[in-house]
Structure 1
Amino acid sequence: MTTTGRRALLTAGVSAAAAALAGCTSEAPGPRGPSAAELEAERVARAEAALRIRAVTASRTLLERYDAVLAAHPALAPLLSPLRRSVAAHAKALGEGGTTVRPATAAPTAPATSAAPTPAPVPVPVPVAADPRAALGELAAAEGTASDAHTAALLTAPPEYARLLASVAAACAAHAYLLTEGARA
């Protein structure tokens, strides 16, 4: 055998031994922790879910205010019913996307420790002004507050949801204007 052949054989043997040793000394396979990308994706998903819950809660709170005003002042139904339907559609649209959203009036419930049923949360009544014009003014202010909340959420919303929020915020601003004009009539 020539020197070149012996060196090649020796090099191949050393490489094989090194590979075998590397395989023996590597970490044993086990549960792998989440990667940085997976952690970031989870953080983004949680932030979006929280954003959706806040947006839907704002719309549902506004819907409850409409219901309270309609109950206190049924004569306002011709003016308020179309706007209320729009707000209900907004709440539904904002909640789509797989996010589970509790109603705005639901209180967190603790796990039951006994066999007795736990009472359902009691919704807090929404105060309504006795004067219909004042009630419309309060409803217009609530629409403005909802519009501001949806507009502020645009900064952190993903693109598709941001477009929806912008549309709902614009609709809330239009409702506030209509309610202000309705209060003058």
Structure 2
Amino acid sequence: MTTTGRRAVLVAGASAAAAALTGCTSDGAGPRRPSAAEEAAAREAERVARAEAALRRRAVTASRTLLERYDATLAAHPALHARVHPLRTSAAAHVAALGEGDRPAPGSPSGTPTTATASGSAAPARAVPTDPKAALRELAGAARAASDAHTAELLAAPPEYARLLASVAAAGAAHAYLLTEGARA
């Protein structure tokens, strides 16, 4: 559970405990309405949970888009398998790691995950260049774009997720290097 998730649980638990204690000392006039502070705490916990869910969706989408580019490149250029497949495997692990902790958003049905789990991105798939070197350059560009997207989310992410995003961003930069400059070394 992330820090933000723990924080939301703690706020909700504290609100429930306060309500229970207040209920024990009430005059028995009926159910007690939550105080303004309790309602504000509940709204803040929901806002934090929704912001984290949106951040996770963006991170998974960026990594999934890169994974789709790896798949398209491998399909178009099977001769690049030895060079590209290990990086594709790493990108698939990043999608899984960034999507860990998928959980329902507050107020959503329990079966509705907060991160996109269906394959596919909003943008139509671009054709892979027929020249293998051009295909590798384009794939390196996609790796850089995913790395930049993850880096851009660091300040908004809770600490544990920020560390994961930083690691995935660094891996994306390494992929870009290995797809282009690394071949020349």
1:105 aligns with 2:120: yes
Asked if 1:46 is matched to 2:55, the reply is no
Paired position in structure 2 for 1:135: 135
**TM-score for both structures, normalised by structure 1:** 0.71
SS of equivalent to 2:155: coil
Alignment partner, residue 89 of structure 2: 85
CA distance, structure 2, for counterparts of residue 60 and residue 160 of structure 1: 20
> What is the CA-CA distance between 1:104 and the residue it aligns to?
4.8
Give the RMSD, CA atoms, in angstroms.
2.5
**TM-score, normalisation: structure 2:** 0.71
Matches within 5 A, 1:165-184: 165-181=165-181, 184=184
| Matches for 1:43-82 after TM superposition, within 5 Å | 43-82=47-86
8 Å CA contact 1:66–1:80 kept in 2: the answer is yes
In the TM superposition, residue 60 of structure 1 has moved relative to its aligned partner by: 0.6
Name the amino acid aligned to 2:92: A
- 1:153 matched to 2:157: no
Pairwise CA distance, 1:29: 3.5
Summarize the Cα distance change of 1:179–1:131 in structure 2 as closer, same or farther, 3 Å threshold: same
Q: Compared with structure 1, are the counterparts of its residues 50 and 82 closer, same or farther at alpha carbon in structure 2 (3 Å cutoff)? A: same
Q: How many residues align?
A: 147
Structure 1: state its 5+ residue gaps.
Answer: 1-22, 108-122
State how far apart, in whole Å, the 2-side matches of 1:36 and 1:133 are: 56
Deviation at 1:125?
3.6
The one-letter amino acid paired with 1:165 is L
Which residue is 2:164 aligned to?
164
Distance in 2 between the 1:166 and 1:96 partners?
16
Q: Distance between the aligned counterparts of 2:72 and 2:182, measured in 1? A: 17
CA distance in 2, matches of 1:92, 1:59: 9
Q: Which letter maps to 1:157?
A: A
User: Deviation of residue 35 (structure 1)?
Assistant: 1.4
Distance 1:52 1:98 in 2: 9
Contact 2:61 2:121 in 1 (8 A): no
In 2, the alpha carbon distance for the partners of 1:61 and 1:159 equals 24
| Residues 84-134 of structure 1 deviation map (CA, whole Å, 9 limit, x = unaligned) | 000000000000012423335267xxxxxxxxxxxxxxx944310110000
**Structure 2 Cα separation of the partners of residues 68 and 184 of structure 1:** 23
**Could you tell me how far 1:182 is from its partner in structure 2?**
5.3
